[in-house]
Amino acid sequence: MLPGVDGTDGPDDPAARAAALRDEIADHDERYHGHDAPTISDADYDALVRELRAIEEAHPELVTPDSPTQRVGAPVSTLFAPVRHRQPMTSLDNAFDADSLAAWGDRLEKRLGTAPGTAVDYACELKIDGVAISIVYEDGRLVQAATRGDGRVGEDVTANVLTIAAVPHRLPAGAPRVLEVRGEVYMSRSAFARLQAHQEGVNRERLAGGRKPQPVAVNPRNAAAGSLRQKDAGVTAQRELSMWCYQMGEVDGGPRFGRHRETLDYLAEAGLPVNPEVRVLPTLDEVLAYCRHWEADRGRLDYDIDGAVVKLDDLARRDEVGFTSRAPRWAIAYKFPPEERTTRLLGIDVSVGRTGRTTPYAQLEPVFVGGATVSQATLHNEDQVAAKDVRPGDVVVVRRAGDVIPEVVGPVLPRDDPDRPRWTFPTSCPCPRGSTLVRPEGESDTRCVDPECPFQRSSSIEHFAGRGAMDVEGFGEQRVRLFLDLGLLADVADLYDVDWARLDAIRTTVGTWATAALDAARERTGDAKARAAVIDEGDVVATVPDDADDVLGAELVVELTADVARFRSTADTVRGLGPEAVAKLQAAIDASRERPLPKLLVGLNIRHLGPAGAEALAEALGHLDAIEAATAEQMAAVEGVGPTIAASVRAWFDDEAHRDLVARLRGAGVNVEGPERPDVAPVLEGRAVVVTGTLDGFSRDEAAAAIKARGGRSPGSVSKSTFAVVVGADAGASKLTKAEELGVPVIDEAAFVALLDSGELP
């Protein structure tokens, strides 16, 4: 178990443990959101976040602005135009059992001042396993649809949402001037079955024609997410997506409601799809019965659910309860237990990440669990393997939460072989260098500390080229490893100095070799149509081209002749680098030179420095040279950075090899300048100014930017901490009412302009 999660004593050094957790969670976020390659289940990820939250609650001084507990959702990709949500799309806290649900109810009742036993109406809804969406109607016409993204900025998927039959393009007469509807886009089980059958039929035709099969969707949630994010809306239209609405966002000019259930009824009357299983229940006992009913009965639905959502039904009282930094206090998600299956643990291997952290993982007999066939599961670290006492050869319980790689819960006891030996953590890195692995005292992770480790180098280059950093499209895991194998690059700076002529020569040589090896295999087997899978070591050795040593290097030639699987993989990857693919890759590399400075900082793989910290440093110091020259104290003084990040950044730049790397990146023309800072005084430092309605001289984004440039904040809602509310044409009635209730000053556009100049209210 993780320290503190199971009720045992927490870490001796909370600051170090919190920093380690932030680092680990950021790594998992990168794997999940940046590479679509998660290595832990939702349950274990939630446990890490819960542990971090527990430490931060006990030690509030350790909370950092970029902590995973302070943010919502996932980074926004570059596939679609960004959309800033009119009101943040927050996440939900989770309850995993009756006790945690009861604890939430107790906290809620205390905040409401409700006497024990008094009825509190709870709106209960099914938690749809789909993709969160925000849809905006203006004067009854659908004008925009966006994914949740990071909670504040999502992706514009309007064209795709317009293809969903359940979503009306127009609302009935009398619709509000602005109505934002939030819901979940999903694919029904029956639609998913039809999609799978179609994809399998296409693959049968492809195989019959001698072509490779294409991936087949493995579960409805993944299928819905992939369908919603198609660049071609015509593809989305064929996927039979559906939607359930679960609440309103911004409303301007519409009726006022006192209850959440009333808002759902209003949406249903307007022709929007509202789930029929919504119930308003007066006690938590009835709420728990509702949750348990659907936990047992979810199989009869034609769509997947992974829990139930419980909300305070009284809208006015929600304002009394408020929000944490990332979630409403008036709602909670009751998560159903993940599905479990048993399978055989074939072996335990170790992977090495970009920071050198080694992660043991289980190799499993393939098993279908949680909507996907899986053959690997993380084991986290040495202590977890020992605590669970899983041994190669065991029959184990595998749990899959959501759509990520599952976890091994433990062995099925008693063992079929009680004398089966325990697994021991290796002492050497699995990379070709075989470096010694080190487990620092007081840490749970074992690390490879060899900076020349090829596994670390590969992962760090993948990270640099990933969407969250320099966004070099088309330069993923296989191509990175190929370029490393071929000596075309050794670090991230080499990406801007690739010998493309040599790559072309390599492609010719490897292509000739692969063709000759396949011909040899066909002659040996007597099968003129045999595919590359029949190539064996003898075929590869017998067909080595005369120029192979000169073009590929003698060492790599030896490695390829000794490993047929690697030979086939190398040949496939090289074949994919024809003139058109290379031209696209060159263009992507050139475009990455213009990426903003915060993205470069993230790409440098500096421990503890995430997107928020990188953004803060870039904005505060303005140039990579200034960051490189700054002391740890100067960086720590930047809001959103703090001493842990500052010390890590300073230590990174103190390394001569890192300074040389940065110099080479500068020489390659990579952008090293931060965002332009407006030359205005910070007259609104620390103040929150809410803008509602339409202004003549500012768009909504321009008004927010003007406030932030002067050190202020521009939230989407009114609270006790609001300094002023700026009112334009067609202002939202709810914000005005809230401002009046709280005594917050309300000003017009002329007063807003004066406020920007002086920081003072008229």
Residue 235's domain spans which residues? 82-335
Are 700 and 573 contained in the same domain? no
pTM over 0.85: no
Give me the pLDDT at residue 336, please.
84
- 272-306 tens-digit pLDDT: 999 999 999 999 999 999 999 998 888 788 898 88
Give me the pLDDT at residue 148, please.
87
**366 CB-contact burial (10 Å; exposed 0-12 / middle 13-18 / buried 19+):** exposed
Are 630 and 704 contained in the same domain? no
Q: 440-468 as b/e, with b when 16 or more CB fall inside 10 Å?
A: eeeebbbbbebeebbbbbbbbbbbbbbbb
CATH number, position 726: 3.40.50.10190
Strands (E), 445-584: 446-448
Are 249 and 323 contained in the same domain? yes
Give me the pLDDT at residue 36, please.
40
**753 CB-contact burial (10 Å; exposed 0-12 / middle 13-18 / buried 19+):** middle
Cα–Cα distances in Å, from 182 out to 322, 655, 692? 19, 48, 20
Classified as helix, coil or strand, 232 is coil
Give me the pLDDT at residue 593, please.
96
Domain ends where: 298, 317, 335? 335
- 91-116 tens-digit pLDDT: 888 898 899 999 999 999 888 888 77
Are 159 and 297 contained in the same domain? yes
Dihedral of alpha carbons 127, 131, 137, 141, sign: negative
Residues 685 and 708: their CA atoms lie apart, in Å, by 9
Are 505 and 647 contained in the same domain? no
Examine residue 408 and state whether it is found in any structural domain, yes or no.
no
Give residue 425's identity as a one-letter amino acid code: F
Give me the pLDDT at residue 338, please.
66
CATH number, position 24: 1.10.287.610
Residues 464 and 468: their CA atoms lie apart, in Å, by 8
Tokens representing 711 are 């050190």
- Number of domains, the chain: 5
Examine residue 534 and state whether it is found in any structural domain, yes or no.
yes
Examine residue 343 and state whether it is found in any structural domain, yes or no.
no
Are 574 and 611 contained in the same domain? no
Whether residue 190 contacts residue 302, with contact meaning beta carbons closer than 8 Å, is answered with yes
Other residues' Cβ atoms within 10 Å of the Cβ of residue 199:
16
Give the contacts of 144 (CB within 8 A, at least 6 positions apart).
83, 135, 136, 156, 158
Q: Which of 410, 407, 360 is nearest to 388 (CA)?
A: 410
Whether residue 73 contacts residue 91, with contact meaning beta carbons closer than 8 Å, is answered with yes
Give me the pLDDT at residue 291, please.
93
Give the contacts of 687 (CB within 8 A, at least 6 positions apart).
711, 712, 713, 723, 724, 759
Active site residue 127: yes
Domain ends where: 305, 335, 365? 335
Tokens representing 660 are 């040389």
Query: What's the chain's length in residues?
Result: 762
Q: Which of 354, 338, 272, 332 is nearest to 305 (CA)?
A: 338
CATH number, position 223: 3.30.470.30
- 640-686 tens-digit pLDDT: 788 999 999 999 999 999 999 999 999 999 999 987 766 788 889 88
Whether residue 223 contacts residue 239, with contact meaning beta carbons closer than 8 Å, is answered with yes
- 686-721 tens-digit pLDDT: 888 999 888 888 887 788 878 878 888 888 788 888
Q: Which of 87, 228, 82, 92 is nearest to 154 (CA)?
A: 82
- Of the residues 127, 335, 388, 738, only one is catalytic, namely 127
- 329-361 tens-digit pLDDT: 999 999 987 667 788 999 999 988 877 889 899
Examine residue 344 and state whether it is found in any structural domain, yes or no.
no
Calculate the CA dihedral of residues 665, 671, 674, 675 and round it to 10 degrees: -160
Cα first-last separation, the chain = 58
The residue whose two tokens read 């919504």 is 278
Examine residue 411 and state whether it is found in any structural domain, yes or no.
no
Other residues' Cβ atoms within 10 Å of the Cβ of residue 562:
12
pLDDT lower than 50: segments of the chain: 1-10, 33-39, 74, 76-77, 402-403
Residues 626 and 450: their CA atoms lie apart, in Å, by 29
Q: Which of 739, 735, 747 is nearest to 703 (CA)?
A: 747
Eight-state DSSP code of residue 694: B
Are 189 and 213 contained in the same domain? yes
Classified as helix, coil or strand, 355 is coil
Are 301 and 267 contained in the same domain? yes
Are 476 and 567 contained in the same domain? yes
Examine residue 752 and state whether it is found in any structural domain, yes or no.
yes
Domain ends where: 667, 700, 724? 667
Q: 701-715 as b/e, with b when 16 or more CB fall inside 10 Å?
A: eebbebbebbbbbbb
Give the contacts of 328 (CB within 8 A, at least 6 positions apart).
90, 92, 318, 321, 322
CA angle (326 as vertex; 321, 328 as ends), nearest 5: 25
Residues 617 and 649: their CA atoms lie apart, in Å, by 10
Examine residue 399 and state whether it is found in any structural domain, yes or no.
no
Examine residue 381 and state whether it is found in any structural domain, yes or no.
no
Give residue 702's identity as a one-letter amino acid code: E
Are 554 and 600 contained in the same domain? no
Are 581 and 615 contained in the same domain? no
Residues 363 and 349: their CA atoms lie apart, in Å, by 7
Whether residue 665 contacts residue 628, with contact meaning beta carbons closer than 8 Å, is answered with no
Q: Which of 689, 711, 707, 709 is nearest to 639 (CA)?
A: 711
**596 CB-contact burial (10 Å; exposed 0-12 / middle 13-18 / buried 19+):** middle
Q: Where are the alpha helices (DSSP H) in 113-219?
A: 158-161, 189-208
Are 115 and 66 contained in the same domain? no
Give me the pLDDT at residue 218, please.
60
Radius of gyration (C-alpha) of the chain in whole angstroms? 28
CATH number, position 650: 1.10.150.20
